[in-house]
Amino acid sequence: MMTETDQSQNLLQTARNQFNNAADFLGLEPGLRKVMLTCKRELTVNFPVQMDNGSVEVYTGYRFQHNVARGPAKGGIRYHAQLTPEDLRALAMLMTWKCAVADIPYGGAKGGVVVDPKKLSQRELENLTRRYATEISLLIGPDTDIPAPDINTDAQTMAWIMDTYSMQKGYSVTAVVTGKPINIGGAEGRSEATARGVQYVIREACREKDINLEGARIAVQGFGNVGATIARLLMGDGARVVAISNTNGGIYNPEGLDLKNVTIYNQEHHTLAGFPNADKITNQELLGLDCDILIPAAYENQLTGANAAQVKARIIAEAANGPTNTEADRIFQDKGIFVLPDILANAGGVTVSYFEWVQDLQSFFWNEAETNRRLNTVMSKAFSEVHNIAQERKVDMRTAAYILAVGRVAEASLTRGIYP
Ligand code: GLU
């Protein structure tokens, strides 16, 4: 088992390796590489929160902006007890590339608070969120840096941030965050957007690889918003979800799981363990199952040199950010596994965040069908652009996605020039 520190260093190291690989292909000069490898702004805040029992706790929060050459900074806020600045540097960088792959006019950011939100009451969580929002209001704003949900945060978290920011301004600023509830300026379809984006690129990949999605066996690591929604959407395409897991482990049935009942069981028992008609499996076992499509939809750094050789899937669709390290990537290439990299596969979330922001700025809202249609256009275009580069340059899909993204950001930086 790796320690948390090892994992976060690996995530940053993986992100840097992936960037350097693309930079070599593009022949980027050293100065520009240095700029693009560095976070532009890193804000750390330590702030007090009054707890329900009257005591005061001090929490640490961050907001990091990686690069804003192509537009305002954009990225999620996560609440996690093991959150580190190294993780955030990597995750902010991934956001820059993700926005560039989808060709939406944003740079990359990430933020969060070092906290296990499950240990807080709703009131404590609201107080923590509002105070954190106040502390990072130095950076956030509809023209500067626009947060969104990430691990352990949701539409309610965004509503509190939006309200706090608006109270300080004296008027409602809906476009300061995305992923809000629909009744206060959220976009129809945003909560399912990441999963839908994954579904759209999986469809493209299946067409390309001649895999029939109908009947395809799917294993999903993660049963949060993204993992659970992907499983449901792919079942709608006729696929068979054979395994699913959460942090405590998962369940497997080669004939396919009854997802409706799995969802009900999970809500009632807060675990998947003990679900009838399925074998109990660990998260590690899930990754090595005999399946057609493997979808890591949980945490970073899950597929490593230690387990990549066991993977049997034909396609890996990275719904999570940074689930595969450099060593595992090499093994997948040798095995001929078609990897849909995170910065392509999970770009649907931030794409619909962009649609939400555009709608807020115009106070003109679309319906869900319109959102999904436009999302499909963006994801299909991104897939074919990445795939064309992969074929032309004879590289894997991740390298191709990075060549596209890093190339776009480099071009913007060169066009703008170095100030002063
Ligand atoms: N947290 C999501 C991600 O990692 C969404 C970010 C956003 O919508 O700004 O892509």
Distance in Å, CA 334 to ligand 1 centroid: 31
Name the catalytic one among 110, 280, 312, 394.
110
Residue 364 forms part of a structural domain: no
Residue 370 CB contacts under 8 Å (≥ 6 apart), including other chains: none
* Cα–Cα distance for residue pair 226/224, rounded to 1 Å: 6
* Cα–Cα distance for residue pair 37/247, rounded to 1 Å: 31
pLDDT tens digits for range 141-178: 999 999 999 999 999 999 999 999 999 999 999 999 99
Closest CA to 96 of 74, 112, 111: 74
Q: Is 178 close to ligand 1, i.e. is its CB under 6 Å away?
A: yes
pLDDT at 4: 41
pLDDT tens digits for range 210-229: 999 999 999 999 999 999 99
Residue whose pair of structure tokens reads 């480099």 in the numeric block: 410
pLDDT at 284: 95
Same domain for 239 and 128, yes or no, is no
Please state whether the peptide bond connecting residue 420 to the residue before it is cis, i.e. omega within 30 degrees of 0. Answer: yes
Residue 30, pLDDT > 50, answer yes
DSSP letter (8 states) at residue 141: B
Atom nearest to 350 CA in ligand 1: 8
Quote the percentage of the chain above a pLDDT of 90.
97
Q: What DSSP string describes 320-349?
A: SSS-B-HHHHHHHHHHT-EEE-HHHHTTHH
Same domain for 161 and 212, yes or no, is no
pLDDT at 9: 53
Q: Is 74 close to ligand 1, i.e. is its CB under 6 Å away?
A: yes
* Cα–Cα distance for residue pair 58/85, rounded to 1 Å: 17
Q: Is 321 close to ligand 1, i.e. is its CB under 6 Å away?
A: yes
Same domain for 212 and 325, yes or no, is yes
Same domain for 91 and 227, yes or no, is no
Residue at which a domain ends, from 174, 204, 227: 174
Residue 2, pLDDT > 80, answer no
Mean local confidence (pLDDT), 337-365: 98
| 3-class DSSP assignment, residue 364 | coil
Quote the percentage of the chain above a pLDDT of 70.
98
Residue at which a domain ends, from 174, 208, 235: 174
Residue 7's pLDDT band, with cuts at 50, 70 and 90, is low
| 3-class DSSP assignment, residue 150 | coil
> How is residue 291 written in tokens?
């399946």
pLDDT at 141: 98
Q: Is 353 close to ligand 1, i.e. is its CB under 6 Å away?
A: yes
pLDDT at 10: 87
Same domain for 217 and 97, yes or no, is no
Number of structural domains the chain divides into: 2
Residue 8, pLDDT > 80, answer no
Residue 406 forms part of a structural domain: no
Distance in Å, CA 278 to ligand 1 centroid: 33
Residue 45 forms part of a structural domain: yes
Same domain for 165 and 239, yes or no, is no
Same domain for 144 and 241, yes or no, is no
pLDDT at 354: 98
Residue whose pair of structure tokens reads 């839908």 in the numeric block: 196
Atom nearest to 75 CA in ligand 1: 9
Q: For residue 97, which amino acid is it?
A: W
Q: Can you give the CATH number for the domain in which 49 is found?
A: 3.40.50.10860
Same domain for 151 and 293, yes or no, is no
pLDDT tens digits for range 53-90: 999 999 999 999 999 999 999 999 999 999 999 999 99
Q: Which domain holds residue 211?
A: 193-345
- β-partners of residue 245 are 221, 250
Residue 368 forms part of a structural domain: no
Protein residue with its CA nearest to atom 8 in ligand 1: 350
| 3-class DSSP assignment, residue 68 | coil
Residue at which a domain ends, from 319, 345, 371: 345
Residue 379 forms part of a structural domain: no
Residue from 180, 350, 371 to probe ligand 1 pocket by mutation (most atoms less than 8 Å from CB): 350
pLDDT tens digits for range 235-284: 999 999 999 999 899 999 999 999 999 999 999 998 999 999 999 999 99
Atom nearest to 106 CA in ligand 1: 9
Q: Is 76 close to ligand 1, i.e. is its CB under 6 Å away?
A: yes
Same domain for 69 and 167, yes or no, is yes
Global confidence as pTM: 0.96
Residue 418 forms part of a structural domain: no
Distance in Å, CA 93 to ligand 1 centroid: 12
**Average pLDDT, whole number, for the chain?**
96
Q: Is 323 close to ligand 1, i.e. is its CB under 6 Å away?
A: no
Which ranges of 170-258 would DSSP assign to H, the alpha helix? 190-209, 225-236
Residue 98 forms part of a structural domain: yes
pLDDT at 1: 32
Protein residue with its CA nearest to atom 9 in ligand 1: 75
Residue 54 burial (CB count, 10 A): 6
Q: Is 356 close to ligand 1, i.e. is its CB under 6 Å away?
A: no
Q: Is 148 close to ligand 1, i.e. is its CB under 6 Å away?
A: yes
* Cα–Cα distance for residue pair 30/20, rounded to 1 Å: 10
Q: What DSSP string describes 12-59?
A: HHHHHHHHHHHHHHHT--HHHHHHHHS-SEEEEEEEEEE-TTS-EEEE
Residue 311, pLDDT > 70, answer yes
312 is catalytic: no
Residue 367 forms part of a structural domain: no
Same domain for 197 and 161, yes or no, is no
Q: Can you give the CATH number for the domain in which 212 is found?
A: 3.40.50.720
Q: Is 150 close to ligand 1, i.e. is its CB under 6 Å away?
A: yes
Question: Do residues 87 and 64 lie in contact, with contact meaning Cβ atoms separated by under 8 Å?
Answer: no
Q: Is 75 close to ligand 1, i.e. is its CB under 6 Å away?
A: yes
Q: For residue 158, which amino acid is it?
A: M
Atom nearest to 354 CA in ligand 1: 8
Question: Do residues 382 and 101 lie in contact, with contact meaning Cβ atoms separated by under 8 Å?
Answer: yes
Same domain for 163 and 293, yes or no, is no
Same domain for 88 and 156, yes or no, is yes
Residue from 79, 158, 194, 356 to probe ligand 1 pocket by mutation (most atoms less than 8 Å from CB): 194
> How is residue 83 written in tokens?
């959150």
Distance in Å, CA 349 to ligand 1 centroid: 6
Question: Do residues 28 and 108 lie in contact, with contact meaning Cβ atoms separated by under 8 Å?
Answer: no
Closest CA to 301 of 34, 75, 96, 94: 94
